Amino acid sequence: MSIQKLRDASDVLREAATAIDGSAGDRLAEQADRLGTLADRDRGPDHGTVARHQQKLKDIKADEPTATDAVNEANDLLNAYRETVEGV
């Protein structure tokens, strides 16, 4: 199920957030929460919504290189989700 990709991305980010101190960890936790909320909705997010989350993850990765692996894994999951979304 495609929505599971959002849950998986949320889980990856949450796990990374516990391992990273400071604002980067807080920002990862916030993104994990938001993706989890999107996954719990009746209708999944559109391309634009997911792209905005991916941009925020890119910014976190730039600020905190130790988050690179988790952000890359989450982005791969978000891209897999987006492949199932109609439109753009």
Q: What is the pLDDT of residues 9-44, one digit of tens each?
A: 999 999 999 999 899 999 999 999 999 999 999 899
> In whole angstroms, how far apart are CA 53 and each of 48, 78?
9, 9
Band of the pLDDT at 88, cuts 50, 70, 90? low
Specify the DSSP element, H or E, that contains 63.
helix 47-63
Tokens at 8, concatenated: 């998986």
The number of angstroms, rounded, from the C-alpha of 29 to the middle of its chain's C-alpha atoms is 10
Residue 56 contacts by C-beta under 8 Å, 6 or more apart in sequence?
27, 31
Asked whether the whole model's pTM tops 0.85, one would answer yes
DSSP 41: S
> In whole angstroms, how far apart are CA 24 and each of 12, 53, 86?
14, 15, 32
